[in-house]
Amino acid sequence: MTHLQLDEPVPGEADDGVWLTCIECGATFAPFEAVRYTCDDCDGLLEVRYADLPTFEDFDSEAPADGVWRYSAALPFEEGVSLPEGGTPLHEVPRLEDDIGVARLRVKHEGMNPTGSFKDRGMTVGVRVAEEVGVSRLACASTGNTSAALSAYGARAGLETLVLLPAGKVAAGKVAQASLHGARILEVDGNFDRCLDIVQDLADRGEAYLLNSLNPFRLEGQKTIGLEILERFEVDEGTYPDRIVLPVGNAGNTAALYKCFRELVQSGALDEDAVPKLTGVQAEQSAPMVEAIENGWDHVERWDHVETRATAIRIGNPVNAPKALPGIRETGGTAVAVSDEQITAAQRDLAEEGVGVEPASAASIAGLRKLREQGVVDADEQVVCLTTGHLLKDPDAAAEAGSEPEPVPDDTDAVLDRL
Ligand SMILES: *Cc1c(COP(=O)(O)O)cnc(C)c1O
Ligand SMILES: [Zn+2]
């Protein structure tokens, strides 16, 4: 697992032991002097690097906060614009565990964050960096949850927020959040990938600070999902999970979890052999990452036409693929595509355990079930599935997947007759 090593001298640009490194050419940059999302030299993705990497003990010392900022030793700041976020439950789902047939199944429900998705973990750090570099307008392209999170954190920080959404393709709850938190919402007559092209253009012209997961600081906050899973699972089970299964859209979370593991290996806190296998799940008609993994490519081919009812992962050009593909490969994981029917069935399965998620989130369970049936996942594995967003994000999908309300007369006997 050579990619799990991060040996690198502290470059001259390091600011308080933090700097940015291009993952393609290795160029290094000061972190907060200028607004920069990709490498000046080769346009490659940037990664935040630290002179000192923490071990688990560093998170226990009189942490000022729960959740994301408990892990400030692994982050570029001590605290941020917080609502607060993180500290989400790791649910037991015994019937589903039995039914799918793995030794242990836990569900990390990221829908329990303040705006109902894991995007809050990235925004608490990203908006803190926006304050540091001194920008006035925040912007993102979004399939919905990024815009909900950015609107809330932007409002909290008192900054202007602009969101670009693919017209007619965003779930109702998410638009409502962006709207009430006061974002300027522009609906683009195009898909998510086109929205992101446009926001990147705006950012390049200095018109807005980009807070999509192309922004390397977002991923720093999202690393804390991995830290919480490892810590909690170890307390409960005395070991680390063999595998983490997650839905993949722009592959930011996949990249963030991989970075989390690499940093722990580097600091000596985690054995290389104990790194969970990162396993990505996409919808069949939006699956460029699965295609790249199956073909052994080191890049993804952009899909121009994507479709799925899991609108949060309706993405044809996953921008973090260059970070996420090595993550899946180096940890011994894989990627799998599931149908919309399988996603809806998994959404119902989770709901029967009391866990309410939006469709994209259920893809993790659907993917695990498929891989178990195929024998790719073994019966003795201990698995954590990530559910990324809350049921109420997409009330229409939930109502369609659930049972119909039945009209009755306003009379007790008539109601009893029905039962
Ligand atoms: C953003 C999002 C995803 C995709 O996450 P990536 O990090 O872009 O792969 C999946 N599910 C939900 C609910 C999301 O909001
Ligand atoms: Zn470069």
Kindly give the confidence (pLDDT) of every residue in the chain, 419 residues in length, as a single tens digit, with 9 standing for 90 and above.
344 555 566 787 777 899 999 999 999 999 999 999 999 999 999 999 999 999 999 997 666 678 999 999 999 999 999 999 999 999 999 999 999 999 999 999 999 999 999 999 999 999 999 999 999 899 999 999 999 999 999 999 999 999 999 999 999 999 999 999 999 999 999 999 999 999 999 999 999 999 999 999 999 999 999 999 999 999 999 999 999 999 999 999 999 999 999 999 999 999 999 999 999 999 999 999 999 999 999 999 999 999 999 999 999 999 999 999 999 999 999 999 999 999 999 999 999 999 999 999 999 999 999 999 999 999 999 999 999 999 999 999 999 999 999 999 999 999 999 99
d(CA 276, CA 261): 8
Q: How far is the CA of 9 from the centre of ligand 1 (A)?
A: 33
- Last residue within a domain, chosen from 215, 248, 278: 215
In a domain? residue 15: yes
Q: Which of 165, 250, 315 to mutate to test the pocket of ligand 1 (most atoms within 8 A of CB)?
A: 250
Which residues constitute the domain of residue 191? 119-215
Instruction: State whether 230 and 374 are in the same domain.
Output: yes
Domain count, the chain: 3
In a domain? residue 166: yes
Closest C-alpha to ligand 1, atom 15: 145
Query: Which tokens is 317 given?
Result: 């050009």
In a domain? residue 58: no
Instruction: State whether 153 and 247 are in the same domain.
Output: no
Q: How far is the CA of 26 from the centre of ligand 2 (A)?
A: 6
Q: Which atom of ligand 1 is nearest to the CA of 315?
A: 8
CATH code of residue 132: 3.40.50.1100
Q: Is 26 annotated as a binding residue?
A: no
d(CA 135, CA 207): 9
Instruction: State whether 241 and 104 are in the same domain.
Output: yes
Instruction: State whether 227 and 329 are in the same domain.
Output: yes
Q: How far is the CA of 235 from the centre of ligand 1 (A)?
A: 27
| Number of the ligand closest to the Cα of 21 | 2
Instruction: State whether 231 and 366 are in the same domain.
Output: yes
Instruction: State whether 313 and 362 are in the same domain.
Output: yes
CA neighbours within 13 Å on the CB side: how many for 252? 26
In a domain? residue 60: no
d(CA 343, CA 359): 6
Crossing angle (nearest 10°) for helices 252-267 and 216-237: 60
CB-defined site of ligand 1, < 6 Å = 117, 119, 145, 213, 247-253, 312-313, 358, 360-361, 388-389
Look up the pTM and report it.
0.96
Helix (H, G, I), strand (E, B) or coil at 404: coil
111 within 8 A of 393, measured Cβ to Cβ = yes
- Cα distances (Å, whole numbers) of residue 393 to 277, 280, 398: 29, 22, 9
Crossing angle (nearest 10°) for helices 145-157 and 172-180: 10
Instruction: State whether 330 and 396 are in the same domain.
Output: yes
Instruction: State whether 263 and 338 are in the same domain.
Output: yes
In a domain? residue 380: yes
DSSP string covering 132-199: HHT-SEEEEE-SSHHHHHHHHHHHHHT-EEEEEEETT-S-HHHHHHHHHTT-EEEEESS-HHHHHHHH
Q: Which of 118, 220, 386 to mutate to test the pocket of ligand 1 (most atoms within 8 A of CB)?
A: 118
Buried b (16+ CB within 10 A) or exposed e, 273-296: ebbbbbbbbbbbebbbbbebbeee
In a domain? residue 76: no
Instruction: State whether 280 and 204 are in the same domain.
Output: no
Instruction: State whether 354 and 238 are in the same domain.
Output: yes
- Last residue within a domain, chosen from 158, 185, 215: 215
Query: Which tokens is 23 given?
Result: 């993952």
Q: Is 360 annotated as a binding residue?
A: no
Instruction: State whether 291 and 386 are in the same domain.
Output: yes
d(CA 417, CA 419): 6
In a domain? residue 72: no
Would you state the pLDDT for residue 11? 82
- Last residue within a domain, chosen from 185, 215, 245: 215
In a domain? residue 73: no
Q: How far is the CA of 135 from the centre of ligand 2 (A)?
A: 24
Q: Is 388 annotated as a binding residue?
A: yes
Q: How far is the CA of 40 from the centre of ligand 2 (A)?
A: 7
